[in-house]
Structures are given as C-alpha cells and as structure tokens.
Amino acid sequence: MANRDPIRVGVLFSDTGVTSTIGRSQLQGTLLAVDEINEAGGIDGREIVPVSYDARSSPAIYAALAERLIIQDKVNVIFGCYMSSSRKAVLPIVEKWNKLLFYPTLYEGFEFSNNIIYSGAAPNQNSVQLAEFMTANFGARVYLIGSNYIYPYESNRIMSDLVLQRPNSKKVGERYVELDATERDFELIMADIKATQPDFVFSTVVGDSTASLYRAYAEAGFNPKIMPISSLTTSEAEISQMGAEIALGHFTAAPYFQSINSDTNLRCLERLRKRFGSECVPNMCWEAAYFQTHIYASALRYTGQDDIGQILPNILGSEFEAPQGRVRIDPMNHHTSLYPRIGVANSRGQFTIVREATRPVHPDPYMVTHSLGDWTASLSTLEL
C-alpha cells in the first residue's frame, strides 16, 4: 500500500517580539507554499504538516525550539529565523543532529554550513549594488546606523569597505542602538548627523525600531531627496509600521519588492490575499520563505524522504520560478542565485523599482571579489 503518512516540517519564526512584523510575513510565505503543495496533491498524496512555534524574537528561544522540533516533533527540516543572531543560535543545533535549516533572510554572508540553505541575499547581491547606486547618485560620505548585534556590525563593515573604494569617500559616523530603541534613543544620533552632514545614511536597524529611526529622521527635518537613508532591511513590512509618508524617498536594495509586475508575482500575491486577507505585507523575506518551501517540496518529490542524506543532493542545483524570477540553489555554497533590485519608497508604501538586474547574480557569500564590480552591465536602466 502507498505511504499516506503526513510529512512534518518545523516552522520557526517570531509572532511576537521586536521582529514579529517581518516574522509573521515569513510564516505566511511558508504556509502559503505548504497550502499550494498540499492542494496540488501533496508529495505523492502525502500531506505536508507544518509544526510551528513562536520563537518570540529571542535567539535563546530559537535554539530551544529548534531542538524541541528535532527531538520531540521529529522533523528533519526547519524553515526559520530572521535575525542572524537567531540563525547563529540554531546553526549548532541543526549541525549536532544533522538536520536541515532553510533560512529565508538577507544576511551578512561569511558563513557556510552543510546543514543550512540560504535563500536570502548575500552581500554581493544587495550591498554591492546599493553602494554603487548611493555613491553614484548622492556621494561617498556615509553615516552607518545599526541595531546592536552581529548582522549590523558585519553588514556595516562590508558597506564601509565598498564605499571607501570611491573617491572623496569617508565614514563620518557609526552608531548602534538596542533592538527596542524608541524615537528618543535616536535623538543624539540625529544631532550627530546634523553636525557631520553625510551624503547618505546606511541603516542596518531591524524590526520595530526601524520605524523609530525613520520617524526621528523625519522629525529632525532631513530631506531624503538630498540625504536619504539606504537599507537592506527596510521592507514593505517596516514601512507598514512607520507609514508611507515617513518612508517616502528612502532607498532599499532587495531581490524582491511587492511591486514587481510579473505574472508569477501577481498571481502569487492574489493567492496570498485569498488565504490571509489584506493584513499580510509581502516583502523580500516573505518571498524567500515562500520559494524555499517549494524548493524543498520539489526535492522531496524525487526522494520521498527528507532526511538530509536523501534530500540535500536534490536541493543543491535545483531551480524554481519564484515571484522575483527564476532562482537556483548553488550546489557549492548553499546560497541562492537572485536578482538584485533597488527601490525607492513611494507614497503608497510600496517601492518604485529604479534599478533591476536582468540576469540572476551568483551568490558569493565570502565576497571573494569584494569590489564594487560592474552590475550595470546586467541592469535595465530605469531612471531615478
């Protein structure tokens, strides 16, 4: 008789705490893909059953729940994590038990684990493009602001290295705030920005405090037309928290924006709205969560088993027609070929895409080239 046993998968995002807005969207991306897979007959008639916990934006809780998923719930695969601190906490757990983590978030790069698939952007797929764009359009004196943990430290270091390759460049300031920072916590930083007059700000602030930063910036009277904030983490989700007026004119680099006008994206958004209504806010991390689940399911169809020894060879090198374009998991470094884009926040709380790669960019998580490079060759040149 055919095997009808459901296949349990672990789902570990944050429904509460400082990164819950983006975490909820990642959960919705995962659950939408699971629904689609099950509605299409599952894996040879076997249903995928998500076992989901709220990791409450805490790396320690991520680690504890990852172990619980593996030991008690007996999953082989976990979809999860937003902050790099949570991925770093889960990494030794999946390595110890030889399980697989699918991580749907842009991060600082410089990491490889045989037990992780990285479906968000590496620095050569967002930082390089953003540095090139901001320095070409605004100048090369940068002020760095980040949340107080590993991704912002490392991402700011990479951005500094890239910007400082330009003539007349300078790092005019670098400041960190706690993850629960409020508008008041940014006051001294705003005064420092006023005094140092950078050409642009690079923000690696994440979660709820993103809205506080952009509000403090507007309150201080800075004009984004002259001195914008640029970011890799301010997505449609964070804009929904701060409001479109506050975000207007600031820049973000990402492989996916909700505003991508392709059939694949529009159809996917329609299915999402049908499933979750209008309170969901699709963004780059939602999209990565969505397509990585389909990549897993496609590999599972070949093997029927999701233990790492069976499934990993079928994940590596696999491709999927994602809302951003056709993506591919690199067999050597477990990261994903993606389409860099740059968007400017508009009055509808969406991004107007001002640059986009016409070909996917191969992931280079160790920034082997570490240069500004020439991505303009693969761009459609939409005007600002």
Binding site for ligand ACM (CB under 6 A): 83-84, 105-107, 151, 206, 233
Name the minimum Å distance from CB 111 to ligand ACM.
10
* Bridge partner list, 352: 344
Nearer to ligand ACM, 116 or 300 (CB): 116
Nearer to ligand ACM, 151 or 296 (CB): 151
What's the token pair of residue 281? Answer: 């806010």
Is the Cα torsion angle 1, 306, 301, 23 positive or negative in sign?
Answer: positive
Is the Cα torsion angle 194, 187, 237, 75 positive or negative in sign?
Answer: positive
Residue 82 CA to residue 54 CA, distance in Å, equals: 12
Neighbours of 54 (CB within 10 A): 17
Residue nearest to ligand ACM (CB): 151
Name the minimum Å distance from CB 4 to ligand ACM.
38
Residue 321 CA to residue 327 CA, distance in Å, equals: 6
Starting at the edge strand found earlier in the chain, the sheet holding 325-329 runs 319-322, 325-329, 336-337
For residues 372 and 162, the answer to whether their CB atoms sit within 8 Å is yes
Name the minimum Å distance from CB 105 to ligand ACM.
5
- Picking from 153, 182, 150, the residue whose alpha carbon sits closest to that of residue 81 is 150
Nearer to ligand ACM, 143 or 151 (CB): 151
Nearer to ligand ACM, 108 or 306 (CB): 108
Name the minimum Å distance from CB 351 to ligand ACM.
18
Nearer to ligand ACM, 42 or 120 (CB): 120
Name the minimum Å distance from CB 370 to ligand ACM.
19
| Consecutive H or E run containing 344 | strand 341-345
Q: Residue 355: exposed, middle, or buried by beta-carbon count in 10 A (0-12, 13-18, 19+)?
A: buried
For residues 70 and 93, the answer to whether their CB atoms sit within 8 Å is yes
Nearer to ligand ACM, 13 or 107 (CB): 107
Nearer to ligand ACM, 13 or 138 (CB): 13
Name the minimum Å distance from CB 155 to ligand ACM.
8
Name the minimum Å distance from CB 150 to ligand ACM.
7
